[in-house]
Structure 1
Amino acid sequence: MTAAPQPGETARQPADASSELAVRTEGLVKVFRKQRAVDGIDLAVPRGSVFGFLGPNGSGKTTTIRMLLGLSSATSGTIEVLGRPVPGALQEVLPRVGALVEGPAAYPYLSGRANLQRFDAADPSSDPRTRRDRVAAALERVGLTHAADKKAHAYSLGMKQRLGLANALLAPRDLLVLDEPTNGLDPQGTREVRNLIRSLADDGTTVFVSSHLLAEIEQVCTHAAVMRSGRIVAQGSLDDLRATGGRTVTVRTPDVGEASAVLVRIGLSPRRDAGSDALVADLPADLEPETVTAALVRADVRVRGIALGGGTLEDLFVALTGEGFDVAA
């Protein structure tokens, strides 16, 4: 259940019953001179989801985010955010959206607290009577209370990132857009941001996370899209995307011939891993690896090891783009 807003806070508006999507684009294009940075994408972000936006540098992720927030105009195509057209209804939409894009900005010689107070004062819908409480709550939520009165120029990169997150959380939000939110954070800070994203989603906020850290996306997101060269090459729930990536089973055994015959009997097409005593086979979605193990044991095949591969976002990304990817924080 979403907590009721405190006095002076902007109440969360009810979801638009006409749309189940927090973000929707159709044929979205952005051209810089002769380069199509975003090339006709159809993005669909379900309300209440934690949506991972993945892709290598230069794939068009940040350009897309800037168009969603009205920071850059589209060459063609349509955008809807929270059921309203962008940029046409930006004045209505933006108070319901929090964002951290292309790194946080701050006044270097003001404290973290003073920065947030100034940011909050710039919001015409904020109530100055409750500003102090809102700022204190935002600082506490991102773990910056201890450094609230420290000058921002003395903040580490991770602390600046937390300050940017606090700014995005000064008021209740229906949509939170985060561009590389764990950039510069240590492992503890990364875990805290992950927990923060989960708690926001539990409160009903849709969280749109652009990241190159696949391990983080897999732990926190419910849906994702993969971009390559300005186009979306895969999109859907994480379970569906993992299934698209496919799975493999690798069996290490000195009884290669017997093991191969067993795998064929249960409907697999094994292939020899060159230079080793291993067999590799694609594993269909309706066949569990335990079934493979049981069949080998029943046939008295000596098994030195069995491993399941594939079925991860990393496998899908490599298969779709042919590029490597950072997979750990």
Structure 2
Amino acid sequence: MTAVGPATELSIETSGLSKRFGQQLAVDGVDLAVPKGAVFGFLGPNGSGKTTTIRLLLGLAAATSGSVRLLGQEMPRQLHGVLPRVGALVEGPAFYPFLSGAANLHRFDAADQHVPAATRKARVQSALEQVGLSHAADKKVRAYSLGMKQRLGIANALLAPRELLVLDEPTNGLDPQGTREVRNLVRSLAADGATVFVSSHLLAEVEQICTHAAIMSAGRLVAQGTLAELRKAGQARIRVLTPDAGTATQVLARLGLSAAVDGPAAAGAPGGAMAGNPNSGSADSDGEVLYAPLPAAAGGEAVAPEAVVAALVAAGVRVRGFATEQVSLEERFVALTGEGFDIVQ
């Protein structure tokens, strides 16, 4: 698990955070470190403990053990001083169905003693504009679609300037256009200096908007760090395109490399286009694609890829494409959790 340096200012920090429901340990010793100003993806399959962890962060549930600090303050002890600086969307948003979207936001804002009433109308209008609901401001919420209700929930979190935004599955129920709008909104909030903590089980969402991520599995935090660090943590591999797959496999075996033809990431693997053959994601007229994990040499350095190419050519293998690559983010997550993710919107 990647650690955050001691000099890094954290917006969210937990230590040994745990929550037990009877015999079930829903959150097990989680140590989160969310840097200030990050767009932080909180990943995991459904049921992995993400929402329970968020409820513990915000003081909506009491931890069985461990500690939480938000914006440098201890929670829930400093809850009343911290939460006005935090905007949140947790689980499905609930509204008065017989009121309009704007009226709902007015009521929620009126319940916040830390915001000025004089600017309420302008702030409600601004929040609705940010989430693309200005056209439906006067429409009763009972007529809203699921995606519109989700946007209204995000608007509620944006009624006042926030230092930290905690969004639990913010694109749930949104169409592709709405999903893109929420992504742009998250980027703009981060650009304005806010820390955005986004819970999701959609890899595409995290890869497009997040700078950092953490991965939950069965209540435990199994990895965290920047996206680049998470990818690099997986084992590097080589990728060979050749019409002589049989001979190439034998040569690689002599080098201690166990090759697989058209491995599990052959289709659509990031960085997969070979030199001179951008469509080489699977077997084609140029031959077959072989994958082989690249082990470390005795000195701790990776086996030189050029030595692999030289051995293949010396054995008469026609090498029509060669690349070294890290495993994809999808493969890394599945390896850590043992479960699948939704990777397309």
Q: Same fold (TM over 0.5)?
A: yes
- Using the TM superposition, name which of 53-62 and 168-177 deviates more: 53-62
Q: Deviations over 1:117-164 (max 9, x none)?
A: 111111101111111110111111111111111111101111111100
Cα distance in structure 1, aligned partners of 2:256 and 2:95: 58
Residue 261 of structure 2 corresponds to: 273
Percent of aligned pairs with the same amino acid = 64
Q: In 2 relative to 1, CA 291–181 (structure 1 residues): closer, same or farther, beyond 3 Å?
A: farther
Given that 2:57 and 2:70 are in contact with CA atoms closer than 8 Å, whether structure 1 keeps it comes out as yes
Query: Aligned equivalents of 1:209 and 1:96: distance in 2?
Result: 17
Is the aligned partner of 1:227 residue 2:243? no
Q: Deviations over 1:13-71 (max 9, x none)?
A: xxxx9971100111111111111111111111111001111111221111100010000
The question of 1:29 aligning with 2:18 is answered yes
1:88 to 2:77 alignment: yes
In the aligned structure 2, how far is the partner of 1:326 from the partner of 1:244?
A: 21
Question: Within the alignment, does 1:157 sit opposite 2:146 as a pair?
Answer: yes
- Give me the whole-angstrom Cα distance separating, in 2, the residues matched to 1:118 and 1:18: 41
Shift of 1:258: 6.1
How many residue pairs get aligned? The number is: 312
Distance 1:118 1:42, change over 3 A: same
Rate the CA distance shift 1:165–1:274 in 2: closer, same or farther, 3 A: closer
Is the contact made by 1:52 and 1:217 (CA closer than 8 Å) also made in structure 2? yes
Question: For residues 71 and 249 of structure 1, do their structure 2 counterparts lie closer, same or farther at Cα, with a shift above 3 Å needed?
Answer: same
C-alpha spacing 1:70/1:18, structure 2 compared with 1 (3 Å): farther
Alignment-derived partner of residue 328 in structure 2: 312
Is 2:260 the counterpart of 1:249? no
Secondary structure of the structure 2 residue equivalent to 1:105: coil
Pairing of 1:107-146 with structure 2 (within 5 A): 107-146=96-135
> Aligned-pair RMSD on alpha carbons?
3.0
2:62 is matched with 73
SS in structure 2 of the partner of residue 164 of structure 1? helix
Residues in 2 aligned to 1:284 and 1:221: alpha-carbon distance in whole angstroms: 30
How far the C-alpha of 1:293 sits from its partner, in A, is 10
Unpaired runs of 5+ residues, structure 1, are 1-16
Question: What per-residue deviation string (whole Å, max 9, x for no partner) do you get for residues 262-297 of structure 1?
Answer: 7689x8725253998543212479879996997699
Q: Residue 252 of structure 2 contacts residue 308 of structure 2 at CA under 8 Å; is this kept in 1?
A: no
Q: Which amino acid aligns with 1:154?
A: A
Name the SS of the counterpart of 1:53 in structure 2. Answer: strand
Distance 1:201 1:274 in 2: 40
Aligned partners of 1:270 and 1:279 also within 8 Å = no
Which residue of 1 is the match for residue 176 of structure 2? 187
Matched, 1:325 2:341: yes
Corresponding position of 1:64? 53
SS for the counterpart of 2:233 is helix
Contact 2:89/2:170 (8 A) holds in 1: yes
Say if 1:263 and 1:72 are closer, same or farther in 2 by CA, change over 3 A.
same
TM-superposition CA deviations, 1:75-118 (whole Å, max 9, x none): 11111000000000000000000000001111101111111111
TM-score, with normalisation over the residues of structure 2?
A: 0.82
SS in 2 for 1:245: coil
CA contact (8 A) 1:268 1:283 kept: no
Residues 1:212 and 2:201 aligned together: yes
Consecutive unaligned residues in structure 2, runs of 5 or more = 1-5, 264-282
* Partner Cα separation in structure 1 for residue 138 and residue 304 of structure 2: 55
